[in-house]
Chains A and B, each alone.
Chain A
Amino acid sequence: MQLFELTIKQAQEGLRKKQFSATELTMACLGQIEKRNSKLNAFLTINSDEALKEAKIVDKLIAKNETLPPWAGIPIAVKDIICTKGIRTTAGSKILDNFIPPYDATVIKKLREQHAIILGKTNLDEFAMGASTENSAFGPTRNPWNITRVPGGSSGGSAAAVAANLCIYALGSDTGGSVRQPASFCGVTGLKPTYGRVSRYGLIAMTSSMDQIGPITKTAEDAGIVLSAISGWDKYDSTSAPENKNTQKPLTNIKIGVPKEYFIEGMGQEVKRAVREAIGNLESLGMQIVEISLPHTKYALPTYYIIVPSEISANLARYDGVRFGKKAKANDILQTYFETRQRFLGDEVKRRIMLGTYTLSAGYYEAYYLKASKVRAQIKKDFDKAFSKVDVIVTPTSPTTAFKIGEKQDPLSMYLADIFTVPANLAGICGISIPCGFSDGLPIGLQILGPQFGEEKILQVAHAYEQITEWHEKKPKIQ
């Protein structure tokens, strides 16, 4: 096995047993990046000098037989929407093309304290707006399973990097499925934590009431390891939830809810088949399958596409060419705003800013944002009711496998790619996508949803599924 093929767990063991050094592990990943990145465009910025410096520090600790913190020496890729001090952070946008954050996001601070090896920053849809990474101002990322296909989005770079073994694990962010859907398209594992579980301090804000940083890994166990390191109350994030002191006992007599609203017209037959087969696998483990209903499911996507652009219109007002980012030349201050935002923001970003400006404007707020917030409450209630009957809910992650680059020209058809993932963000609950099959050589993802702070439950079910299947071990052959 090559070093870059290791999981976090295997890498941790190998370093402690001195089977290889942190430098060797880092160089193996950097070598893969050098070989593959020009074809895949997964990384926007590569941090090799700093990464090797940090690896050397870890090797010194190992030589002195010091206790290694859990993340030490393990190479990670970070979605370029998370601020890394001194390392260019673009949010996938021309407007931040030259932005170097003067501070670390809280999750990055935690990583650095443990001597994690930051390999570089990965590609994404601009400001995390999209489901394919085609909205990046720096070109799309290609799916390692088939380079004519999208890797999903918005964390496409991170998912592709993990699938192609360019890193041991990655961080992405998920507002409407942006960790789970690319994980599904790339045949890897992606976890969206409960809203408030992981600090948003230093995560470039898109939709403040839903954004969450989440791990993209090769196994469910690895996702759990990363979650324990990045989660926790943060005084710098006023939406961060207080520590959940209740350690979960492992579930017994697990009840799995299968919502009838998630098996719809127009979804891939192979996706349906693979997910049904996975549910069968879980049943063979003694889990009880319960048919449930989440009646407001069809309203989740329209609710999402009112709330999200509304919050975006407020969060992106800061890109005005004054304190940071690019600035266009103009004759007066007002024209500077108009020209800067016209020139340096992409189409999808402009679309959502304008949509949100409209839905929040005087005379329209009640009809749109307020109404959507009420439907959001109903969607949450659907999940609360369901979780009183079942432990977790299982659905497909996406109605299809990875589509072709350039295939979805109509914005609305792109929005529909997130139809199964957005409800979890609206309800603030947790969800994980794990590989469960293939269709024409393209990965299919199984989504497991859990109640707020129920990550241990979904990880337990995901891990149990991995013990009796091999989908998560499959890796693409890259020419």
Chain B
Amino acid sequence: MKLSKPQVLHISNLARIKLSSSETTKFQNQLSSILDYVNQLNEVYTKDIEPISQITGLENVTREDVVVKEQSLTQEQTLANAPEKENGYFKVKSVF
């Protein structure tokens, strides 16, 4: 199954990855052949099969909705790896 260029551009847009035109062609070919390969799953009869998402069988693992001091970072620690920061905030280009 061959992905079209507009499809590849749509996907890269959703994934927030900018592609050059040569990359678009390269990924178009590679993604298409991978999708071809995975399409063999259509051979498997799965009509009344329950999908598996949690392999250990655990369900609804929760904890109290309270701040746990030992698991929290200080503001300084939180900002330590920020590429840009100011006055205790992460700094980004304006959203609007």
What interface size band does chain A fall in?
35 or more
The binding surface of chain B is classed by DSSP as loop
Residue of A302, A330, A337, A380 near B37 (CB, 8 A) is A302
Query: Nearest-CB distance from A317 to chain B (Å)?
Result: 8
Residues of A within 8 A of B7 (CB): 358
A74-112 CB contacts (< 8 Å) to partner B: 98-100, 102-103
Q: What residue in chain B is nearest A313 (Cβ atoms)?
A: B15
Whether B40 and A299, one on each chain, are in contact in the complex, defined by CB atoms closer than 8 angstroms, is: yes
Q: Known contacts A327-B83, A377-B49; is A302 also within 8 Å of B56 by CB?
A: no
Q: Known contacts A238-B61, A321-B83; is A342 also within 8 Å of B31 by CB?
A: no
Q: What residue in chain B is nearest A452 (Cβ atoms)?
A: B56
Q: How many angstroms between the C-alpha atoms of A239 and B93 in the bound complex? A: 36
Known: A320-B16, A332-B93, A357-B14. 8 other contacts (CB 8 A): A102-B77, A103-B77, A334-B16, A350-B23, A354-B15, A358-B3, A373-B51, A377-B52
Whether B53 and A209, one on each chain, are in contact in the complex, defined by CB atoms closer than 8 angstroms, is: yes
A176-225 CB contacts (< 8 Å) to partner B: 195-196, 209-210
A10: interface (CB < 8 Å): no
B36-82 CB contacts (< 8 Å) to partner A: 37-44, 46, 49-56, 58, 61-63, 71, 73, 77-78, 80-82
B87: interface (CB < 8 Å): no
A148: interface (CB < 8 Å): no
Interface residues of B (CB under 8 A from A): 3, 7-8, 11-12, 14-19, 23, 27, 30-31, 33-35, 37-44, 46, 49-56, 58, 61-63, 71, 73, 77-78, 80-84, 90, 92-95
Whether A353 and B17, one on each chain, are in contact in the complex, defined by CB atoms closer than 8 angstroms, is: yes
Whether A355 and B73, one on each chain, are in contact in the complex, defined by CB atoms closer than 8 angstroms, is: no
Q: How many angstroms between the C-alpha atoms of A374 and B43 in the bound complex? A: 13
Residues of B within 8 A of A61 (CB): none
Q: How many angstroms between the C-alpha atoms of A141 and B72 in the bound complex? A: 36
Residues of B within 8 A of A100 (CB): 80-81
Q: 22 interchain pairs (CB within 8 A)? A: A98-B81, A103-B73, A103-B77, A209-B54, A209-B55, A238-B61, A299-B44, A305-B38, A306-B38, A321-B83, A322-B92, A323-B90, A324-B82, A338-B16, A341-B16, A350-B17, A355-B35, A358-B7, A358-B11, A374-B50, A377-B52, A380-B55
Whether A102 and B81, one on each chain, are in contact in the complex, defined by CB atoms closer than 8 angstroms, is: yes
Whether A305 and B52, one on each chain, are in contact in the complex, defined by CB atoms closer than 8 angstroms, is: no
Residue of A196, A342, A350, A415 near B56 (CB, 8 A) is A196
Whether B78 and A355, one on each chain, are in contact in the complex, defined by CB atoms closer than 8 angstroms, is: no
Whether B93 and A331, one on each chain, are in contact in the complex, defined by CB atoms closer than 8 angstroms, is: yes
Q: How many angstroms between the C-alpha atoms of A298 and B37 in the bound complex? A: 11
Residue of A235, A325, A351 near B81 (CB, 8 A) is A325
